[in-house]
Amino acid sequence: MYLEKINNPEDIKTMDNNQLKILASEIRDALMNRLSKKGGHFGPNFGMVEAIIALHYVFNSPIDKIVYDVSHQSYPHKILTGRKDAYLYEEHFKDVSGYTNPEESKHDFFNIGHTSTSISLASGLAKARDLKKDKENVIAVIGDGSLSGGEALEGLDFASELESNFIIIVNDNDMSIAENHGGLYKNLKELRDSKGKTSCNLFKAMNLDYIYVEDGNNLEELIKTFKSVKDIDHPIVVHINTQKGKGYKIAEENKENWHWCMPFDIKTGKTKITSDFEDYGTLTANYLLEKMKNDEKVVTVVAGVPTNIGFTKEKREIAGKQFVDVGIAEEHAVAFVSGIAKNGGKPIFATHSSFMQRTYDQLSQDLCINKNPATILVNTASIYGMNDVTHLGIYDIAMMSNIPNLVYLAPTSKEEYFSMLDWSIEQNTYPVAIRIPCNGVISYKKTIDKDYSNLNKYKVEEKGSKIAILALGDFFQLGEEISSAIKKEIGITPTLINPRYITGIDKELLENLKKNHSVVITLEDGILEGGFGEKIARFYGITNMKVKNYGIKKGFYDRFIVEELLKENGISVEQILKDVKEMIK
Amino acid sequence: MYLEKINNPEDIKTMDNNQLKILASEIRDALMNRLSKKGGHFGPNFGMVEAIIALHYVFNSPIDKIVYDVSHQSYPHKILTGRKDAYLYEEHFKDVSGYTNPEESKHDFFNIGHTSTSISLASGLAKARDLKKDKENVIAVIGDGSLSGGEALEGLDFASELESNFIIIVNDNDMSIAENHGGLYKNLKELRDSKGKTSCNLFKAMNLDYIYVEDGNNLEELIKTFKSVKDIDHPIVVHINTQKGKGYKIAEENKENWHWCMPFDIKTGKTKITSDFEDYGTLTANYLLEKMKNDEKVVTVVAGVPTNIGFTKEKREIAGKQFVDVGIAEEHAVAFVSGIAKNGGKPIFATHSSFMQRTYDQLSQDLCINKNPATILVNTASIYGMNDVTHLGIYDIAMMSNIPNLVYLAPTSKEEYFSMLDWSIEQNTYPVAIRIPCNGVISYKKTIDKDYSNLNKYKVEEKGSKIAILALGDFFQLGEEISSAIKKEIGITPTLINPRYITGIDKELLENLKKNHSVVITLEDGILEGGFGEKIARFYGITNMKVKNYGIKKGFYDRFIVEELLKENGISVEQILKDVKEMIK
């Protein structure tokens, strides 16, 4: 096996074409080994094996600097830069993250997990090089799916201003995570169809030089092209047409399902992890399909991640024109739903908490200043969400709940979630965001309110005394556990409150608590700083009420274990019980 | 005068071409009347007079819906839609805001003040129209300067997906606020030079139909073109070449200075408001010019607003390659400086607090996760900043201070600001943001620290007892006043603290305060929710310390008077003194 002897990119520079082809095959085997057992990004990596070999064959990393957009295609790069063991041997799987990571290797320049960033980041490397009068090559790799993101388009527009060496590799596999959406993809198709020759060319319209590689999985062609642009004295786009999932027939034939995979059986492609549990994705899609069927004004919008709320290809087809995937374009999505709501439509936009960060200004300016009644679904907004440092779901409360006019709701059960969602879609007064629960689908038997227009009214689930527990959203069940423990261990029945509204304070209720409570604890599934609990602490600041806020200390946590992180932050029934005992002394 | 009889757009539909030309001249007079006395956006409005007359002549507003990007060019629209008095008569100047505003008129659909939003917002109006099976025209107006913004490019990419009536008017005056930057402007030039005929066309590359109007100030040509696209069944770009400042020679000749104006003398063009005071713009530019002269690795970056830190055309030329205006592209700017810092450069990016909102994700992901030592200058971050609802400067603390790894500093004087800035540029450990003071240039005679690497160490400016005042940034001087008042009125010397670090808590100091203090007050020049004070309230939540936070209640305030808003929020020496007396009882 050649791969076993490759410890850094220098080791491939003496290989001939045949050897490199065998190496490509070995890299695919290594990818298959890891991905079939552990899961990860499949299609983009299989498609980029040859291009990444060619990059490392031609350029001199890390002097020459390669920046991979969103990192979905960076595994072969990791394999060639001293991290092959993490793909060859199960005991080393944990050595690497799923993203480029400067802590792992000097060949990685940024921690990247959000799309559309590579051109801008790499242009910064190039600018610093020019200031220092250095001469290395700077290469940004970006997939076609990422091109629709505002940051990528800003970067593409800026790139020609560099007037110095800058190579943008556009990895065009004719796919986003799902199919591509947007006008520029018609231009990419024209470019592919004309072998790069059509005169109307997005990249040239951005004042960039351009070169096309017809077979982006052909090593010789790639090496020849990369050699021709090496040490170039101006910015250029190298448009390569690769095949997503190349080398694994099942993935080649079903690109959307094989963008990312769970552990699977190599022979059949069937996933090894199945679940009979209900999930909020499927539940949300089914609810919205029914809603859309009954009201042509309801429209569901996503930005490149349709299945985040269960919209599989089949369900997208059923929804027809009432389902819009804007592509990776969260800023556009939020302004778009604001416009839809303004003109009498009933739009719902859903994406992950971490991606909602990409549209802060649109939430504030386009939506909330204008107070248009769109619904925003915030998904995986939880410590139980994704656990990569680039995809943390614990920042949305601090980010969104301080925007005026927004009503941000935290349901505590399946029934409450759908009741809030239904209210939000039908009301026409407020922009409303809802945190989709993330701690499993939990049913709640008590009566659930249907109308949430009386803003900031918290719900007292159990009346008690001395201690009040404000248990927000996903942490409501933790609140119930703590309540039970306090009853049992301290002999006091605490007041258990479901705050429901993240964006406001129930002053009347909080005032009333003063009468027969001396301790208030708040529980929130997000960072403490700028969050919900601090507002309660401020409210009681000049009173004798003792307030203790539970949540996560701000930090960029990577591949954390939920229970450990909770414990580090003092969030366990045991610890909280101990704290409460201290406070009521 | 025709204008006096125009109360809504219907009134111009029976006018002939000559009458419309006279009307155009009257509109320019009205604009001149208001702008010379009150100031406002000059160049964009003077350039768009004919186009807006033509739009209202051809289309039927408000059934047909016109959305103006950033609103810089919406004054003629206001004049034609029942709001002429606000331009004709000084006593009515206050009737209208400087931006489109649905509260003023049914002809306005959104409150807009940030650039690059009109295509996305209008595409939402169009989508809702299609869902409802209505048939009106939807028109987005956008200036060339706004096209470089990510949201606009995302919207442009999406537009062709509508497959129904959608008209995008690109108002190309070959200028941003300053000169344009970015590759796409070369394509606009090619299009202008070829009268729209060059085959490489950015808009066509986005799969959009396209039509060019050579003289965008020619009424007949505009009317003919708009008639030809009215009721069109698919999206189209109408590219019109207008002259910024048209009709006022002084403005035509100096487009950058006349993008926006203060009150001026019509004959000479000279501003009526001059000031001999020092300002942080000029001071910052001079400091950075010196810094750049001495170190080729230092580079200053702005996004379309170079003079926000005093970089006039002259100073930009002196800085040369060490000054980069990326155009309106804040996302790119932050990723770009992260890349520069990663590769050993010393970048400074500066923009207004309100525009920093456009790059939350890049601050978090591209910059702070990667912990690259770039400097971010946050300008007009204050209640003393801009007072339009779309340009509020009081949200940056809540937005930025909860992002991990960021060191956000709040200087309290000129000396401290430049000391912090110098430290930030020279250190290579943290991404650092600095809030440029906004309450006037105040000198401070005491010694100022030069090293801020011992994070989160607050500075005790005066040691006292019982009461501690944490007076952040711009509100430090207010803290001094309160301290004096307390000494005088209560006879206690309070401890006066300059926290300096917005992003962290000085636990040791706060612990120590417990010994001989019973009251802590916090003062911050920003919203309370998610801000600095709440963190102090949380810290003391389980103690006996009384904490009172002063700041602004979150809200979208429009054209507020600073002193009134402060008072409404209980921020006055008198009120705080009263509160303190109550708290120490």
pLDDT in 10s for each residue of chain B, 585 residues:
999 999 999 999 999 999 999 999 999 999 999 999 999 999 999 999 999 999 999 999 999 999 999 988 999 999 999 999 999 999 999 999 999 999 999 999 999 999 999 999 999 999 999 999 999 999 999 999 999 999 999 999 999 999 999 999 999 998 877 788 999 999 999 999 999 999 999 999 999 999 999 999 999 999 999 999 999 999 999 999 999 999 999 999 998 889 999 999 999 999 988 777 889 999 999 999 999 999 999 999 999 999 999 999 999 999 999 999 999 999 999 999 999 999 999 999 999 999 999 999 999 999 999 999 999 999 999 999 999 999 999 999 999 999 999 999 999 999 999 999 999 999 999 999 999 999 999 998 788 999 999 999 999 999 999 999 999 999 999 999 999 999 999 999 999 999 999 999 999 999 999 999 999 999 999 999 999 999 999 999 999 999 999 999 999 999 999 999 999 999 999 999 999 999 998
pLDDT of residue B273: 82
pLDDT of residue B517: 98
Q: Touching check for B234 and chain A: CB below 8 Å?
A: no
Contact A110 B554 (CB under 8 A): no
Per-residue pLDDT of A50-70, as tens digits, reads 999 999 999 999 999 999 999
Contact B157 A183 (CB under 8 A): yes
Secondary structure letter of residue A5 according to DSSP: G
CA–CA gap between residue A86 and residue A77 (Å, rounded) = 12
Per-residue pLDDT of A280-310, as tens digits, reads 999 999 999 999 999 999 999 999 999 999 9
pLDDT of residue B349: 98
- For B534, which of A357, A405, A537 is closest by C-beta distance? A537
Q: Right CATH number for B459-583 from 3.90.230.10, 3.40.47.10, 3.90.226.10, 3.40.50.920?
A: 3.40.50.920
Contact A332 B154 (CB under 8 A): yes
Contact B114 A361 (CB under 8 A): yes
Contact A335 B121 (CB under 8 A): yes
pLDDT of residue A316: 97
- For B124, which of A342, A405, A528 is closest by C-beta distance? A342
Q: Touching check for B558 and chain A: CB below 8 Å?
A: no
Q: Which are the contacts of A390, defined by CB distance < 8 A and separation ≥ 6?
A: A99, A111, A112, A113, A114, A354, B365, B369
What is the phi-psi region of residue A325: left when phi exceeds 0, alpha when psi lies from -120 to 50, beta otherwise? beta
Q: Touching check for A273 and chain B: CB below 8 Å?
A: no
Give the H/E segment covering residue B213: strand B209-213
CA–CA gap between residue A564 and residue B163 (Å, rounded) = 51
The nearest CA of chain B is from the CA of A258 a distance in Å of 25
Beta bridge partners of B468: B495, B520
pLDDT of residue A201: 98
Reply yes or no on whether the pLDDT at A176 is more than 80: no
Averaged pLDDT score across all residues of chain A: 97
Instruction: Decide if A65 contacts A138 (C-beta within 8 A).
Output: yes
CATH 3.40.50.920 in chain A, residue ranges: 459-583
Reply yes or no on whether the pLDDT at A528 is more than 90: yes
Instruction: Decide if A468 contacts A495 (C-beta within 8 A).
Output: yes
| Residue A277 confidence class, pLDDT cut points 50, 70, 90 | confident
List the single residue in B with minimal CA-CA distance to A134. Answer: B343
Contact A370 B207 (CB under 8 A): no
Q: What would the DSSP string read from start to end of B283-303? A: HHHHHHHHHHHH-TTEEEEES
Query: Could you give the residue ranges of the DSSP H alpha helices within A194-309?
Result: 202-205, 219-229, 249-253, 280-294
Contact A399 B399 (CB under 8 A): yes
Contact A157 B154 (CB under 8 A): no
Rg, C-alpha atoms of chain B = 26
Q: Touching check for B345 and chain A: CB below 8 Å?
A: yes
- Please list every residue in chain A whose beta carbon sits closer than 8 Å to the beta carbon of residue B546: 541-542
List the single residue in A with minimal CA-CA distance to B390. Answer: A365
The nearest CA of chain B is from the CA of A23 a distance in Å of 32
Contact B128 A340 (CB under 8 A): yes
Secondary structure letter of residue A363 according to DSSP: I
CA–CA gap between residue B492 and residue B466 (Å, rounded) = 8
Q: Which of A 359-398 lie inside 8 A of B, CB atoms?
A: 360-362, 364-366, 368-370, 389-390, 395, 398
Contact A541 B549 (CB under 8 A): yes
Reply yes or no on whether the pLDDT at A447 is more than 90: no
List the single residue in B with minimal CA-CA distance to A118. Answer: B335
- C-alpha triplet A313, A316, A322: angle, nearest 5°: 170
Whole-prediction pTM value?
A: 0.98
What is the phi-psi region of residue A141: left when phi exceeds 0, alpha when psi lies from -120 to 50, beta otherwise? beta
The nearest CA of chain B is from the CA of A412 a distance in Å of 23
CA–CA gap between residue B167 and residue B208 (Å, rounded) = 10
User: Percent of chain A, pLDDT > 70?
Assistant: 100
Q: Touching check for A316 and chain B: CB below 8 Å?
A: no
Contact A402 B399 (CB under 8 A): yes
pLDDT of residue B101: 97
pLDDT of residue B447: 86
List the single residue in A with minimal CA-CA distance to B343. Answer: A125
CA–CA gap between residue A360 and residue A455 (Å, rounded) = 23
Q: Which of A 48-107 lie inside 8 A of B, CB atoms?
A: 65, 67, 102
Instruction: Decide if B70 contacts B41 (C-beta within 8 A).
Output: no
CATH 3.40.50.970 in chain B, residue ranges: 3-261, 280-435
- Please list every residue in chain A whose beta carbon sits closer than 8 Å to the beta carbon of residue B149: 150, 154
Contact B186 A202 (CB under 8 A): no
- For A370, which of B110, B120, B540 is closest by C-beta distance? B110
CATH 3.40.50.970 fits B3-261, yes or no: yes
Contact B120 A149 (CB under 8 A): no
Q: Touching check for A297 and chain B: CB below 8 Å?
A: yes
Q: Which are the contacts of B326, defined by CB distance < 8 A and separation ≥ 6?
A: A154, A158, A161, B148, B181, B182, B301, B302, B303, B304, B332, B333, B336
Q: What average pLDDT does range A547-559 have in this prediction?
A: 98
- ipTM, 2 decimals? 0.98
Instruction: Decide if A339 contacts B120 (C-beta within 8 A).
Output: yes
Q: Touching check for B151 and chain A: CB below 8 Å?
A: yes
Q: Right CATH number for A280-435 from 3.40.50.2000, 3.40.1190.10, 3.40.50.970, 2.130.10.30?
A: 3.40.50.970
Q: Which are the contacts of B213, defined by CB distance < 8 A and separation ≥ 6?
A: B221, B222, B225, B238, B239, B240, B241
Q: Touching check for A442 and chain B: CB below 8 Å?
A: no
- For A402, which of B150, B324, B398 is closest by C-beta distance? B398
Q: Touching check for B535 and chain A: CB below 8 Å?
A: yes
Reply yes or no on whether the pLDDT at A76 is more than 80: yes
- Please list every residue in chain A whose beta carbon sits closer than 8 Å to the beta carbon of residue B526: none
- For A389, which of B187, B369, B554 is closest by C-beta distance? B369
Task: Calculate the alpha carbon distances from B315 to B43, B281, B309, B380, B547 in Å.
Answer: 22, 12, 11, 21, 47
Per-residue pLDDT of A346-370, as tens digits, reads 999 999 999 999 999 999 999 999 9
Q: What average pLDDT does range A369-376 have in this prediction?
A: 98
Higher pLDDT, B276 or A171: A171
Tokens coding A556: 């960029």
Q: Is the dihedral of CA A114, A117, A122, A127 positive or negative?
A: negative
